[in-house]
Structure 1
Amino acid sequence: MEIYRSFIFRLVRNYLVGSLAAVFVVGTVVMVSTLQIPNIEFVRLILIVFISLLFMLVAEGIALRIQLRPIRRFFAGEHHERAELSRMYEVIHHFPGRTIYRIMGPHLLGFSLPAAGLTLWMLTVGWLDFPTNYVAVAAACAILIAIMHALIEYFLTVRAIRPLLMEARRRGKQQYGTEPSLGGRVLVSIQRKFQLSTALIGLFPLCLFFLATFIRLQYMDQEFAKEYILWGIIVVVLGAGFALVGSWLLIRDVRDPVAELTKEMNRIQEGDLGRRAPDLYADEFSALISGFNMMINRLEMRQERNRQLLQSYFSTLAAALDARDKYTAGHSMRVAEYSLMIGKLSGMSDEQADLLYKSALLHDIGKIGVPDEVLLKDEKLSEEEFAIIQTHPVLGESILLQIEPMDAMADFLPGVRSHHERYDGKGYPDGKAGLEIPLFGRIIAVADAFDAMTSDRPYRNGMSHEKALSILEEGKGTQWDPYFAGLFIEEWRRKEHLHGSSERGVS
């Protein structure tokens, strides 16, 4: 509750300073400089201001108490539901905006109405002596003062709520491990704040001067005062126009770089680090954009480093597996290269091709769980031993599922589990057929079979490339996906033809 009490202290201090400045300093100066009245009447006006100020403070206290009730109740407790934390975080953010209503209501209703009523009563009983239309002018001044007070109070409150927000975030982190956030939602746009505040700052002194001068002229030349009204209205309208145009130009100068940075951040969130935000500004935004681009450079370097580490991790796993059997050394790497070739021939994107390559590197990772006496046997396997070998796709999937975070390996699981499925449904472990077999599994199956047929084994020598290609061709549509097998066969024969032609050219 200490943070809450500190917040209340700042809130009350800001309000009292603003109220005294608005009501006593501005209001009294306007009265002294414009009204030519006896001292006793001036004292009576000060009494009206004081009584009206008491009404305003009471109304303000009631409104403030109502607005603070949920915040006070929240900070009085220690443990909160996650939804309550998020809701209160947003309530605190809305508090400065509600301050405007809290200021305007008591000013207009709690101050202006009692002040106007008491002034009219004193004019009726003869305690004050000036034209009644001055009351309307004073009411207009009160509205201007209330607006400026609300504007100042808004920006002061924006700063005052920051410790509350930090405490809410701390509690969320402590209790649930996550800090509450608006998630990028805009509750009050910069454009709206800048346009309203700059326009009001420009109009406030102009309107106040117009009203004070009108009263002053009443004592000097009433005919000229009537002419002054039209002239003054024209000046106020022109001033309002300049203020609005100026605020629009100012907000555009701030909005454009903010929009540019927001666009670039959204692009980065989608994973695109290839571009940089253009540095087109000569103010502080230049330093901001320069720092933003430097951050992208660091992210890109880290991403590349992580990619290299991940690639090295996969290659090391594959090499460790291949090292168990000297006859299959390099098998995983060759299968990955063949799979990548098929993926690119099929028009696969670079991102998908990279996932395919990594899946192929890991396709036999489950053989780590196969006993050496089965995996390294020099003779043909018995049915029981072959059944053990057939478990390696499922074992591989289980191994990858142990890696944290759980979604890190999600893209590689289908290819690892399904690379021994057959297109006709007679494969293992799930007996899937045709397009039911995951894409990566259908591609890796072709690459795996070709390398297995062309590699030496303890019980047989590897067959020629052409014979292996012929077997692939015969098995299209039954054992292997006809499209991917056809792509591989055609590309391999094309390369061999080019290689043969180049050798004849050299000889």
Structure 2
Amino acid sequence: MPIYKRFIQHVILNYIIGSFIAVLLVGAIFIFSTLNVAHYEFLGLMKIIAFSSIIMIACETLVFRMHLGPVRHFFLDKRTTFEDVEAMYIRIHRLPNLSVLRIMGPHLLGFSIPAAGMAIWMIHTRQLTLPFYYVGIACIGACLVASMHAMIEFFLTMRAIRPLLIEIRDRTYQKYGINISLRGRVLLSLRHKFQLSATLIGAFPLFLFCLATQIRLEHLDEALSSSYWLWAGTILLFGVAFAYLGGWLLTREIEQPIHHLLEKMNEVKEGRLNDKASDLYSDEFAKLVEGFNIMVEGLKEREDKNSQLQESYFATLAAALDARDAYTAGHSLRVAEYSVIIGRRGGLNETDLDLLRKTALLHDIGKIGVADAVLLKDGKLTDEEFDQIKMHPVMGESILRQVEPADAMAPYLPGVRSHHERYDGKGYPDQLCGEDIPLFGRIIAVADAYDAMTSDRPYRKGMQKEKAVMILEEGKGTQWDPYFAELFVEEWRRNKGIMS
């Protein structure tokens, strides 16, 4: 509650500041420096201002309480849900917009309507000797002053709500462990904010000057008065157009670097760290761009180091596995090489080829859990021993699931588990068939079989590569995926020297 009380104090202070600048300072100077009134008329004008101000304050206070009532209840109520917090976070962000509506609604109308009514009555009853059209000029002036007051109130409220937002963010993190934010949602665009403000700042003094001049020159004859408004209207038209154009140019100048940085941020989010933001600016955006580029360089260096560590991690695991059996040394590296050849011929992109290569490096990692007596046995395996060997895809998947973060290993799991599935459904561990077998599993199965057939074992010598290729051809559509097996055979025959 203390944070809310301080907020209310700031809002009230802001309102007093805005009212003093816009209403008392500008409005009073406009009225009393422009009008030549007698003493009794001055008192009449003060009565109009005092009575209208009371109505204005009453109307505005009612709306003010309506706007802030939910905020007050939120900070008093301890039994709030996360949905309540999210809704209040958005509502507080809308308070500057609501302050503009409050100024242009109950504030302006609560003052102008009673003031105009009293002024017309007092002119009609001769308590004021002013022309009736002065009431219209006063209403136009009130709209101008209220617009300036609304702009001041908007920016002061923007500043006042920040402690409330920080308090809600801290509470949410402590209670739910979530950093609450608008997640990029725009409640009021920069274009509207800057363009309306610049146009108002440029047009406000022109309108005020023209209205004041009309009053001061009221004794001119009709011809001169018409000539004045032709001149004044031209000045107003060009002044407002120039203010709008200036606001548009200013907004575009600010939006362009922001959009450029947002585009580069999305590239970083997608993992593209090669392109820097263009340093085309000579103002504070130059510092922002330089800081962004330094951040991207740091991310790229860290990404490169992580990639090197990951490469080393995969290669080390593969080497550690191959080191258990001198006869299969280099098996994982060769299977990875053959798998990439097949994948490239099959049209995989570079990202998928990298995932395929790493999956192939780890495809036999489950053999770590197989006893040496079984894995390194010289003779033929018994059925029980072969059943142990057949568990290594499942054990490999289980081992990789222990690596954190879990999503880092997720792309490799299907290929590791399924590289011994057969295209006809007679493989293991899940008896998948056809294209139900994961893509990487079907590719690695071809590469693994070729290297297994051509590698020496303690109990047999590796077969001739031509014979292994013939077996692959014969097994297309039964043991191996016919498409990938054919790709490998074609590549082998085209590049025998490379794949020997």
1:37 is aligned to 2:15: no
Partner residue, 2:211: 211
Partner residue, 1:344: 344
Change (3 A) 1:444 1:285: same
Asked if 1 retains the 8 angstrom alpha-carbon contact of 2:364 and 2:416, the reply is yes
Partner residue, 2:290: 290
What amino acid maps onto 1:360 in structure 2? A
Partner residue, 2:166: 166
Name segments (4+ residues, structure 1) moved above 6 Å.
Answer: none
Partner residue, 2:375: 375
Residues 416-427 of structure 1 correspond to what in structure 2 (within 5 A)?
416-427=416-427
Partner residue, 2:200: 200
Change (3 A) 1:34 1:498: closer
In the alignment, the residues of structure 2 paired with residue 41 and residue 372 of structure 1 have an alpha-carbon distance, to the nearest angstrom, of 111
Structure 1 residue 4, shift from structure 2 partner: 1.1
Change (3 A) 1:43 1:106: same
In the alignment, the residues of structure 1 paired with residue 129 and residue 107 of structure 2 have an alpha-carbon distance, to the nearest angstrom, of 25
Structure 1 residue 476, shift from structure 2 partner: 2.2
Structure 1 residue 67, shift from structure 2 partner: 0.3
Partner residue, 2:323: 323
Partner residue, 2:141: 141
Give secondary structure in 2 for the equivalent of 1:476.
coil
Q: Indicate the percent of aligned positions where both proteins have the same amino acid.
A: 56
What amino acid maps onto 1:474 in structure 2? E
In the alignment, the residues of structure 2 paired with residue 256 and residue 204 of structure 1 have an alpha-carbon distance, to the nearest angstrom, of 28
Change (3 A) 1:155 1:311: same
In the alignment, the residues of structure 2 paired with residue 153 and residue 361 of structure 1 have an alpha-carbon distance, to the nearest angstrom, of 64
After superposition, the C-alpha distances for 1:135-164 in whole angstroms (9 at most, x for unaligned) are 111111011000110011111111111111
Asked if 2 retains the 8 angstrom alpha-carbon contact of 1:79 and 1:175, the reply is no
Asked if 2 retains the 8 angstrom alpha-carbon contact of 1:56 and 1:111, the reply is yes
Give secondary structure in 2 for the equivalent of 1:218.
coil
Partner residue, 1:98: 98
After superposition, the C-alpha distances for 1:106-147 in whole angstroms (9 at most, x for unaligned) are 232211112112222322333222112111111110110001
What amino acid maps onto 1:277 in structure 2? A
Partner residue, 1:493: 493
Asked if 1 retains the 8 angstrom alpha-carbon contact of 2:199 and 2:247, the reply is yes
Structure 1 residue 14, shift from structure 2 partner: 0.5
For structure 1, which segment, 217-226 or 393-402, has the greater mean C-alpha deviation from structure 2 after superposition? 217-226
After superposition, the C-alpha distances for 1:145-203 in whole angstroms (9 at most, x for unaligned) are 00110011111111111111111111221112111111112111111111111001111
Structure 1 residue 492, shift from structure 2 partner: 2.6
In the alignment, the residues of structure 1 paired with residue 242 and residue 498 of structure 2 have an alpha-carbon distance, to the nearest angstrom, of 76
After superposition, the C-alpha distances for 1:356-377 in whole angstroms (9 at most, x for unaligned) are 0111111111112222322222
Structure 1 residue 221, shift from structure 2 partner: 5.4
After superposition, the C-alpha distances for 1:10-62 in whole angstroms (9 at most, x for unaligned) are 10000011112222211211122111111232132123212222221121111
Asked if 2 retains the 8 angstrom alpha-carbon contact of 1:334 and 1:451, the reply is yes
Residues 121-132 of structure 1 correspond to what in structure 2 (within 5 A)?
121-132=121-132
Asked if 1 retains the 8 angstrom alpha-carbon contact of 2:261 and 2:277, the reply is yes
After superposition, the C-alpha distances for 1:267-306 in whole angstroms (9 at most, x for unaligned) are 2222222222222222222222222222222221111111
What amino acid maps onto 2:369 in structure 1? G
For structure 1, which segment, 172-181 or 218-227, has the greater mean C-alpha deviation from structure 2 after superposition? 218-227
For structure 1, which segment, 460-469 or 437-446, has the greater mean C-alpha deviation from structure 2 after superposition? 460-469
Structure 1 residue 378, shift from structure 2 partner: 2.2
Partner residue, 1:231: 231
Asked if 2 retains the 8 angstrom alpha-carbon contact of 1:443 and 1:484, the reply is yes
For structure 1, which segment, 121-130 or 355-364, has the greater mean C-alpha deviation from structure 2 after superposition? 121-130
Partner residue, 2:17: 17
- Structure 1 spans left out of the alignment, 5+ residues: 501-507
In the alignment, the residues of structure 2 paired with residue 96 and residue 65 of structure 1 have an alpha-carbon distance, to the nearest angstrom, of 15
In the alignment, the residues of structure 2 paired with residue 207 and residue 65 of structure 1 have an alpha-carbon distance, to the nearest angstrom, of 33
What amino acid maps onto 2:86 in structure 1? S
Structure 1 residue 448, shift from structure 2 partner: 0.9
Partner residue, 2:443: 443
In the alignment, the residues of structure 2 paired with residue 56 and residue 261 of structure 1 have an alpha-carbon distance, to the nearest angstrom, of 45
In the alignment, the residues of structure 1 paired with residue 186 and residue 498 of structure 2 have an alpha-carbon distance, to the nearest angstrom, of 62
Change (3 A) 1:322 1:497: closer
What is the alpha-carbon root mean square deviation over aligned residues?
Answer: 1.8
Q: TM-score, normalising length from structure 2? A: 0.96
- Structure 2 spans left out of the alignment, 5+ residues: none
What amino acid maps onto 2:422 in structure 1? R
Asked if 2 retains the 8 angstrom alpha-carbon contact of 1:217 and 1:224, the reply is no
Structure 1 residue 223, shift from structure 2 partner: 5.1
Asked if 1 retains the 8 angstrom alpha-carbon contact of 2:418 and 2:437, the reply is yes
Residues 24-63 of structure 1 correspond to what in structure 2 (within 5 A)?
24-63=24-63
Asked if 2 retains the 8 angstrom alpha-carbon contact of 1:401 and 1:409, the reply is yes
Q: TM-score, normalising length from structure 1? A: 0.94
Residues 269-418 of structure 1 correspond to what in structure 2 (within 5 A)?
269-418=269-418
Give secondary structure in 2 for the equivalent of 1:432.
coil
Partner residue, 1:73: 73
Asked if 1 retains the 8 angstrom alpha-carbon contact of 2:419 and 2:442, the reply is yes
What amino acid maps onto 2:371 in structure 1? P
After superposition, the C-alpha distances for 1:405-428 in whole angstroms (9 at most, x for unaligned) are 332222111111110011222111
In the alignment, the residues of structure 2 paired with residue 21 and residue 280 of structure 1 have an alpha-carbon distance, to the nearest angstrom, of 39
Structure 1 residue 493, shift from structure 2 partner: 3.1
Give the total of aligned pairs: 500
Residues 459-478 of structure 1 correspond to what in structure 2 (within 5 A)?
459-478=459-478
Change (3 A) 1:499 1:237: closer
Asked if 1 retains the 8 angstrom alpha-carbon contact of 2:23 and 2:149, the reply is no
In the alignment, the residues of structure 2 paired with residue 446 and residue 353 of structure 1 have an alpha-carbon distance, to the nearest angstrom, of 16
Asked if 2 retains the 8 angstrom alpha-carbon contact of 1:473 and 1:486, the reply is yes
Asked if 2 retains the 8 angstrom alpha-carbon contact of 1:116 and 1:139, the reply is yes
In the alignment, the residues of structure 2 paired with residue 68 and residue 312 of structure 1 have an alpha-carbon distance, to the nearest angstrom, of 59
Partner residue, 1:504: none
Give secondary structure in 2 for the equivalent of 1:496.
coil
After superposition, the C-alpha distances for 1:83-106 in whole angstroms (9 at most, x for unaligned) are 222111111111111111111112
In the alignment, the residues of structure 1 paired with residue 244 and residue 445 of structure 2 have an alpha-carbon distance, to the nearest angstrom, of 69
Asked if 1 retains the 8 angstrom alpha-carbon contact of 2:420 and 2:427, the reply is yes
